[in-house]
Amino acid sequence: MSAPLFAMFGLGGQELLLLALLGVLLFGRRLPDIGRSLGKTVVEVKKGLKGIEDEVSEPSAAPRQSIEPEAIKAPTRVTPSTKPTFEDASAPTNAPPKV
């Protein structure tokens, strides 16, 4: 048996009445909207937890396919089609480089 939530925190009838009165005074007309939003949040959390429980509890329907690694290819040498040219070879070594 599980005890009600208010009993777990040691709240009695007077404390609950005081909390309800305080909630009405603070939130007033917005209280139904807040309750509705809180209810939707609780429903969404329960749906999410149920989805997680279903994923964990059900055995996988299809066995997972193993991923085959690609075949290793031999390295190929890439040679440039033209020879590199060095245009600054005749410039003096103490001159600043061209930008």
Give the whole-angstrom CA distance, residue 56 versus residue 48.
13
Which of 14, 34, 10 has its CA nearest to residue 24? Answer: 34
End-to-end CA distance of the chain: 83
In a domain? residue 10: no
Q: What pLDDT does 1 receive?
A: 46
Tens-digit pLDDT profile for the chain (99 aa)? 455 666 667 878 888 899 889 888 888 888 888 889 999 999 999 999 998 888 787 665 555 567 888 888 888 887 777 776 766 655 556 767 677
In a domain? residue 40: yes
In a domain? residue 38: yes
Sequence-separated (6 or more) residues with CB below 8 Å from residue 34:
27
In a domain? residue 23: no
Token pair, residue 56, equals 């964990």
In a domain? residue 37: yes
Q: What residues make up the domain containing 52?
A: 29-56
Q: What pLDDT does 40 receive?
A: 95
In a domain? residue 7: no
Number of domains in the chain: 1
Sequence-separated (6 or more) residues with CB below 8 Å from residue 84:
none
Give the whole-angstrom CA distance, residue 28 versus residue 90.
88
pTM over 0.75: no
